[in-house]
Structure 1
Amino acid sequence: MTSCDFIVVGHGLAGATLAYVLRQRGYHVLVFDPEPADTASRVAAGLMNPVAGKRFALSWQAAELLPAAAAFYQQLEQRFGQQFFFPAPIFKIFGSLDEQRAMLARSAEQPWGDFVASLTPADPGIAGVQAPFGGAWLQHGGHVRVQEMLDALAAEGRREGWLRRETFDWSRLVTDAAGLVYSGQVQARHVVCCEGAAAVLNPYFSWLPLTPNQGEVLDVECHDLPTAQVLNRGAYVVPVGEGRFRVGATYRWPPFADGPTAAGLQELSERLQVITSRPFSVVKQRAGVRPAVRDRRPLLGPHPTVPGLSFCGGYGSKGVMLAPRLAALLTDWLEGSAALWPDVDLRRYASHHAAANRA
Structure 2
Amino acid sequence: MLPSADLLDADYLIIGHGLAGALLAWELRQRGQRVLVLDAGLPNAASRVAAGLINPVAGKRFALSWRIDELLPAAAATYRALEAEFGQPFFHELPILKLFSSVREQNDVLARSADGRWGDYVRDPAQPLPDVPLLKQPFGGLVLQHGGWVDTSALLDALTADGLQKGWLRAETFAPELLVAEASGATYAGRVRVRRVVFCEGAAAVRNPWFGWLPITPNQGEVLDVEAPTLPTDYVLNRGAYVVPVGDGGRVRVGATYRWPPFAEEPTPEAREELAERLRELTEAPFRITGQRVGVRPAVRDRKPLLGLHPQLPALAVFNGLGSKGVLLAPRLAGLLADALENGAELWPEVNILRYHALYPVAPAASVPAP
TM bucket (normalised to shorter chain) is over 0.9
Once the two structures are overlaid, the 10-residue window that deviates more, 128-137 or 340-349, is: 128-137
Which stretch of structure 1 is more off in the superposition, 270-279 or 347-356? 347-356
Q: Identify which range, 100-109 or 157-166, moves more after superposition.
A: 100-109
Match of 1:265 in 2: 272
**CA contact 2:183–2:315 (8 Å) conserved in 1:** no
1:174-185 to 2 correspondence within 5 Å? Answer: 174-176=180-182, 178-185=184-191
User: What SS does structure 2 have at the residue aligned with 1:305?
Assistant: coil
- Separation in 2 of the partners of 1:284 and 1:127? 25
Question: 1:189-243: per-residue Cα shift (whole Å, max 9, x none)?
Answer: 0000000000001111110000000000001000011110000001100001121
- The share of aligned pairs that are identical, in percent, is 59
Q: Give the C-alpha shift of residue 60 in structure 1.
A: 1.0
Q: 1:120/1:171 Cα in 2 relative to 1: closer, same or farther (>3 Å)?
A: farther
Name the counterpart of 1:226: 232
- 1:120, 1:12 → 2: CA distance? 41
**1:123 shift after superposition:** 6.3
Task: After superposing the two structures, state which structure 1 stretch, 294-303 or 94-103, moved more.
Answer: 94-103
Conserved? CA contact 2:8–2:192, under 8 Å: yes
1:196 matches 2:202: yes
1:110 shift after superposition: 4.3
Q: Tell me the distance in 1 between the aligned counterparts of 2:279 and 2:158.
A: 31
1:157 paired residue number: 163
**What's the CA shift for 1:179?**
1.5
Give 5+ residue unaligned stretches, structure 1: none
Compute the TM-score of the two structures, normalised by the length of structure 2.
0.93
Q: Which residue of 1 aligns with 2:4?
A: none
- In structure 2, do the counterparts of structure 1 residues 296 and 356 end up closer, same or farther at CA, with 3 Å as the change threshold? farther
1:354 match: 361
Q: Do the aligned partners of 1:300 and 1:330 also contact (CA within 8 Å) in 2?
A: yes
Quick check: 16-25 or 171-180, which moved more? 171-180
The separation in 1 between residues aligned to 2:127 and 2:273, in whole angstroms, is 30
Pairing of 1:334-345 with structure 2 (within 5 A): 334-345=341-352
TM (norm. structure 1) is: 0.96
What letter is aligned with 2:257?
Answer: T
For the residue of structure 2 that corresponds to 1:288, the secondary structure is strand
Return closer, same or farther for 1:162/1:285 CA change in 2, 3 Å cut-off. same
1:5 pairs with 6, 11, 19, which one? Answer: 11
Question: Which of 316, 320, 333 is the equivalent residue of 2:323?
Answer: 316
Q: Deviations over 1:132-159 (max 9, x none)?
A: 1111000111100000000000000001
Cα drift, residue 178 of structure 1? 5.0
- 1:171 corresponding residue in structure 2: 177
Whole-angstrom CA distance in 2 between matches of 1:198 and 1:273: 35
SS in 1 for 2:237: strand
Aligned match of 2:295: 288
Write the deviation string for residues 269-300 of structure 1: whole angstroms up to 9, x where unpaired: 01001111111010000000000000000000
CA contact (8 A) 1:94 1:133 kept: yes
The whole-number CA distance in structure 2 between the counterparts of 1:264 and 1:121 is 36
Task: Give the drift of 1:337.
Answer: 5.0
Contact 1:120 1:136 in 2 (8 A): no
8 Å Cα contact 2:183/2:314 also seen in 1: no
RMSD between aligned residues: 1.8
1:21 aligns with 2:44: no
How many Å separate the matches in 2 of 1:231 and 1:355?
48
Once structures 1 and 2 are overlaid, which stretch shifts more, 107-116 or 39-48? Answer: 107-116
Partner of 2:92: 86
Give the whole-Å Cα distance in 2 for the aligned partners of 1:244 and 1:355.
Answer: 52
Task: Report the residue type matching 1:228 in the other structure.
Answer: D
> Relative to structure 2, which stretch is displaced further, 173-182 or 97-106?
173-182
SS of residue paired to 2:125:
strand
CA distance in 2, matches of 1:351, 1:177: 21
Distance 1:215 1:52 in 2: 18
* Aligned match of 2:74: 68
| Cα distance in structure 2, aligned partners of 1:356 and 1:175 | 15
Q: 1:75 to 1:147 in 2, by over 3 A?
A: same
Specify the code of the residue in structure 1 equivalent to 2:224.
L
Q: Which residue is equivalent to 2:220?
A: 214
Quote the Cα distance in structure 2 between the aligned partners of 1:33 and 1:54. 36
Match of 2:3 in 1: none
Distance in 2 (alpha carbons) for counterparts of 1:104 and 1:214: 33
SS at match of 1:102: helix
Number of residue pairs matched by the alignment: 359
Residues 1:59 and 2:68 aligned together? no
- Asked whether the 8 Å contact 1:207–1:356 carries over to 2, the reply is no
Structure-1 separation of matches of 2:82 and 2:113? 33
Question: CA separation in 2, counterparts of 1:316 and 1:107?
Answer: 28
Contact 1:122 1:132 in 2 (8 A): no
2: CA distance between counterparts of 1:67 and 1:122? 28
Residue 304 of structure 1 aligns with which residue?
A: 311
- The CA deviation at 1:175 is 2.7
